Structure formats: C-alpha cells, structure tokens
Amino acid sequence: MEIVILRLGHRPERDKRITTHVGLVGRALGAKGMLLTSGDKGIESSINEVTQRWGGDFFVQTGVKWSDELKRWKQEGGKVCHLTMYGENILDVIDEIRAEAKRDKTRIMVVVGAEKVPYIVYDAADWNIAISNQPHSEVAALALFLDHLQRGKELKTKFEHAEMEIVPKKQGKEVIKKVKGK
Ligand code: SAM
C-alpha cells in the first residue's frame, strides 16, 4: 500500500516542531513521503537527516500547492483520507478503506491540517475520518490512523540502508553502526 501525507496550513513561526513530528511519525509508521504546502526547508532537512541515519527512503517535498496535489492524486486513481474530528469515526470506516486499498492496490493520501482546513478539502476527501470526535493533535491522529490502516504491521518494518540500527533490548540500549548500503 502506498501512503503519502499531505500537511496543510503549516505556519513556519508556530508549527515547525509539530510538522516535523508529522513527518517523523509518517516515516516511522509506513508512509512513503510527506507533501508540505509551506516552503520550510528546515523541516525537510531535519527529516532527511533522520532518514539518512536510520534508513528507508521517506521523501519530503516542500512548497506544493495542496489543491493541485489533491486533484492530481484523485485523477491518478488515488484515494484521499482527511483526518478531522468532524468526520466519521475511524472504527466505522477503516474496514472499507482497507478493503478498497487492498482490492485495487490503491494509493492513499492522508491529509492533516494545522490551522482551519478549507471546506473544499472536506468535499474532495473520499473519507473524512475522526480519531474520536474530540479535538487533539495531528500527530496522534496520524499515528492512530496509520496503525489501524495497516493493522499494526508497520511496527515491524525493517528500514533499508540505515547507518544505525537499534538492537531491541529488555534493558539498556544497544545501537549498531552499519556500513552504508549493507
Ligand atoms: N481547528 C482546525 C480545524 O477546524 O480544521 C483543526 C486544528 S487541529 C489542532 C489540527 C489537525 O489535527 C486537524 O486538521 C486534524 O487533521 C487533526 N486532528 C485533531 N483532532 C483530530 C481528531 N479527533 N480526529 C482526526 N484528526 C484530528
């Protein structure tokens, strides 16, 4: 399943940390990349540094126009999941989304907002999905959505081309440094 995140409404003076976390959670939990409507290159470079060190091929593309990306995604047959507390409860729609994704090898775009999300996004989305109908955080909403969508399988993903790899331990910490590309 190909999953890409579209982060809307990033405000460079307020949202740096949270948008970076949206990207890091996406990377760690099975998304292929993040499209960011802002041109904030600092976010791109800090996520790329993590990918360089810890592996995988997560991409960050800044300065995109969200309406063009949504349109293109849909024209190419992809589906759009907009995370919003006003949507349908995730437990009521996740089976349908999973079935659709599996049936047609559908690509899933996950839209998360920062400030007020334009109404047109609610209309363009194939599903408006609430991770409970209470306000909380795009980071938590994204993590739970990705986990439900993939039934937790993403938690066992091996990241290729890592410079560092953690050896899971009951106690203490162990990290091995790897030769790049092995
Ligand atoms: N006030 C904004 C609005 O009305 O669109 C939302 C602000 S909220 C802090 C930022 C983002 O977190 C939302 O756009 C949404 O993607 C996500 N979010 C927050 N709570 C959520 C929930 N209960 N379910 C799904 N997504 C949620």
Over residues 67-83, the pLDDT tens digits come to 999 999 999 999 999 99
CA of 116 to the centre of ligand 1 (A): 8
Q: How far is the CA of 137 from the centre of ligand 1 (A)?
A: 6
Q: What is the pLDDT of residue 103?
A: 76
Nearest CA to ligand 1 atom 17: 138
Q: Whose CA is nearest to atom 23 of ligand 1?
A: 85
* Ligand 1 centroid distance, CA of 138 (Å): 6
Nearest CA to ligand 1 atom 22: 85
Q: Does domain 2-155 have CATH number 3.40.1280.10?
A: yes
Mean pLDDT is lowest, of 20-29, 37-46, 58-67, 78-87, for 37-46
**Mean pLDDT, to the nearest integer, of 52-65?**
97
What is the spatial distance between Cα 77 and Cα 69, in angstroms, rounded to a whole number? Answer: 12
Mean pLDDT of 12-31: 95
Q: Which two tokens stand for residue 82?
A: 């907009």
Q: How far is the CA of 6 from the centre of ligand 1 (A)?
A: 13
Listed residue (129, 128, 143) closest to 22, CA to CA: 143
Which residues have any ligand 1 atom within 6 Å of their CB? 83-85, 112-114, 116-117, 130-132, 134-138, 141
Q: What is the pLDDT of residue 143?
A: 98
Higher confidence at residue 134 or residue 10?
A: 134
Residue 127 to residue 122: CA distance in whole angstroms: 8
- Ligand 1 centroid to Cα of residue 168, in Å, is 33
Domain ranges, ordered by start, for the chain? 2-155
Which is it for strands 107-112 and 127-130: parallel, antiparallel or unpaired? unpaired
Output the pLDDT for position 106: 82
pLDDT tens, position by position, 132-159: 999 999 999 999 999 999 999 999 999 9
pLDDT-derived band at 9, boundaries 50, 70, 90: confident
Ligand 1 centroid to residue 90 C-alpha, Å = 14
pLDDT at residue 182 tops 60: no
Check residue 81 and report its DSSP letter: E
Does residue 108 have a pLDDT over 60? yes
Residue 104 pLDDT class (50, 70, 90 cuts): low
Q: Whose CA is nearest to atom 15 of ligand 1?
A: 84
What is the 3 state secondary structure string of 120-173? HHHHHCCEEEECCCCCCCHHHHHHHHHHHHCCCHHHHCCCCCCCEEECCCCCCC
Stretch (H or E) spanning 87: strand 79-89
Average pLDDT, the chain: 94
For a pocket test of ligand 1, which of 136, 144, 146 has the largest count of ligand atoms closer than 8 A to its C-beta? Answer: 136
Judged by DSSP in three states, 70 sits in helix
Higher-pLDDT residue of 39, 7: 7
pTM: 0.95
For residues 147 and 154, is the Cβ–Cβ distance under 8 A?
yes
Residues 131 and 145: beta-carbon distance below 8 Å: yes
The average pLDDT across 104-126 equals: 93
Segment (H or E) for 176: strand 175-177
